[in-house]
Amino acid sequence: MQAINIGLLGLGTVGGGVAQVLRDNAQEIARRLGRDVRIIAVCDKSAERVAELCPQATFVANPMDLVAREDVDIVVELFGGTGMAKEAVLQAIQLGKHIVTANKKLLAEYGNEIFALAEQKNVMVQFEAAVAGGIPVIKALREGLAANQIQSIAGIINGTSNFILTEMREKGSAFKDVLAEAQRLGYAEADPTFDIEGHDAGHKITIMSALAFGTPVNFGACYLEGISKLDSRDIKYAEELGYRVKLLGITRKTEKGIELRVHPTLIPECRLLANVNGVMNAVRVNADMVGETLYYGAGAGALPTASAVVADLIDISRLITADTENRVPHLAFQPSQVVPQNFVSIDDISSSYYLRVQAADKVGVLGTIASLLAKENVSIEALIQKAVLDNNQAEIVILTHSTIEKNMKAAIAAIEAQECVAAPVTLIRMESLHG
């Protein structure tokens, strides 16, 4: 059988991994697929890197020339970002090329336009590497769980943030040193703010939310809060109370609509997700028939991500001649069934909370705080006073029962308005992750 010809846009961390996987596992892949997969053309800023890593391929300086090549069957987009990547992907689809991409930003922001054009042009856009790197979670959501109504997804889906949180907790390392190490190891995005401010996890949970609930991708509806403002004291106090702090992406179907959010979260240390460390990712899916399932593996890095890219190449190569109706729909549901739904504002979610209040260490302060919480219907689950700080101040750590976020924020505003309260109150949401 004729080989499948790949045109590669981007030979960076992931592109280099794809070249290596296709080279080192060429025989295994051909045994599975019944034909060879070969990279025939590469566009990258560095012609030298192309000559070194893909000596068999033609270097192409202009991405538009690569996507226009008649001998290219599948375009693999690994540029990243939404500039040239978007232009080249749309043009490739226009020209009838199938696409494999690892670009979650592109799909979370422009997926609706890209999938609509792909359906019109009868081509496939595959993106397993875009969510949780090497973990086949897109496959699980689109195919493995297709018999279910999905209820919720919660995941550690940014390897860089999880690596930083793990190193801070285990070794007491400084935030910026660990971030530099994550960049050196090829885990971080070209602009690492996307990792530490929650955008990357937001892109990924947005894509999973669309797949789970049959909605168009709607990144604008995603609440984002990253790890950059986390204080190591909160990680320590959480630990003393039996919790770990993780950056979670959460999407959940509720009576009010779909929740879609990313934020640091306290998780009981006995839960599996609390014990996912380093660059590892894990996604927990709750669905009505199967119950809880958990997917774990490397969420970033050259070879794990390339593993997902090459799996998509194999999938497309198998389906290339299949009728359109036999293909798995891009967003898991038939295009006519992908319908807009209501998303819940962060103020209307229900959660329990960890609060840290810095206040004067004097009689009556605890009582004042407790009564301000009670006034907003916030009930306290645990309250401890931590070490007395300089200036006669103490830190009060409070765990609350579940309450509506706007009530919690109203109580915090009232607490912060007290003269005895010396600094903004720290709030971290909690997830019990049971049931």
Ligand X SMILES: N[C@@H](CC=O)C(=O)O
Ligand Y SMILES: NC(=O)C1=CN([C@@H]2O[C@H](COP(=O)(O)OP(=O)(O)OC[C@H]3O[C@@H](n4cnc5c(N)ncnc54)[C@H](O)[C@@H]3O)[C@@H](O)[C@H]2O)C=CC1
Residue 178 as a binder of ligand X (CB under 6 A): the answer is no
Q: How far is CA 297 from CA 131, 134, 158, 265, in A?
A: 12, 7, 12, 20
Which residues between 31 and 50 bind ligand Y (CB under 6 A)?
43-46
Residue 295 as a binder of ligand Y (CB under 6 A): the answer is no
Pull the structure tokens for residue 88.
Answer: 């080249």
Number of Cβ within a 10 Å radius of residue 388: 11
Q: 3-class SS at 364?
A: coil
Which residues between 277 and 316 bind ligand X (CB under 6 A)?
299-300
Residue 281 as a binder of ligand Y (CB under 6 A): the answer is no
Nearest CA among 150, 30, 123, 135 for reference residue 327? 123
Q: Are 427 and 353 in contact (CB under 8 A)?
A: yes
Q: Which is nearer to ligand X, 10 or 159 (CB)?
A: 159
Would you call 204 a catalytic residue per the annotation? Answer: yes
CA dihedral 93, 95, 97, 101 (to 10 degrees): -40
Q: Where are the alpha helices (DSSP H) in 214-284?
A: 232-240
DSSP character at residue 142:
I
13 annotated ligand binder:
yes
Residue 159 as a binder of ligand X (CB under 6 A): the answer is yes
Q: Which residues pair with 294 in a beta bridge?
A: 284
Quote the least distance from Cβ 279 to ligand Y, whole Å.
8
Residue 115 as a binder of ligand Y (CB under 6 A): the answer is no
Residue from 15, 17, 111, 133 touching ligand X (CB under 6 A): that is 133
Longest dimension (CA), the chain: 83
Residue 209 as a binder of ligand X (CB under 6 A): the answer is no
Residue 227 as a binder of ligand X (CB under 6 A): the answer is no
Q: Which is nearer to ligand Y, 7 or 10 (CB)?
A: 10
Residue from 80, 111, 202, 297 touching ligand Y (CB under 6 A): that is 80
Sheet holding 58-59, edge to edge: 58-59, 37-43, 4-9, 74-77, 98-101, 125-126
Quote the least distance from Cβ 164 to ligand X, whole Å.
10
Residue from 144, 186, 268, 278 touching ligand Y (CB under 6 A): that is 186
Please report, in angstroms and rounded to a whole number, the separation of the first and last CA atoms in the chain. 49
Q: Which is nearer to ligand X, 63 or 80 (CB)?
A: 80
Backbone angles phi, psi at 373, to 5 degrees: -65, -45
Pull the structure tokens for residue 113.
Answer: 């336009």
Q: 3-class SS at 286?
A: strand
Size of the site for ligand X (CB under 6 A): 11
Question: How many CA atoms are closer than 13 Å to the CA of 368, on its beta-carbon side?
Answer: 18
| Annotated catalytic residue within 86, 97, 139, 204 | 204
> Which region among 13-21, 112-120, 161-169, 384-392 touches ligand Y (by CB under 6 A)?
13-21
Residue from 77, 195, 197, 376 touching ligand X (CB under 6 A): that is 195
Q: Which does residue 158 bind out of ligand Y, Na ion, ligand X, none, counting CB within 5 to 8 angstroms by kind?
A: ligand X
Residue nearest to ligand Y (CB): 12
Q: Which residues bind ligand Y (CB under 6 A)?
A: 10-15, 43-46, 63, 78-80, 84, 102-103, 129, 133, 186-187, 189-190, 300-301, 305
Q: Which residues bind ligand X (CB under 6 A)?
A: 133, 158-160, 187-189, 195, 200, 299-300
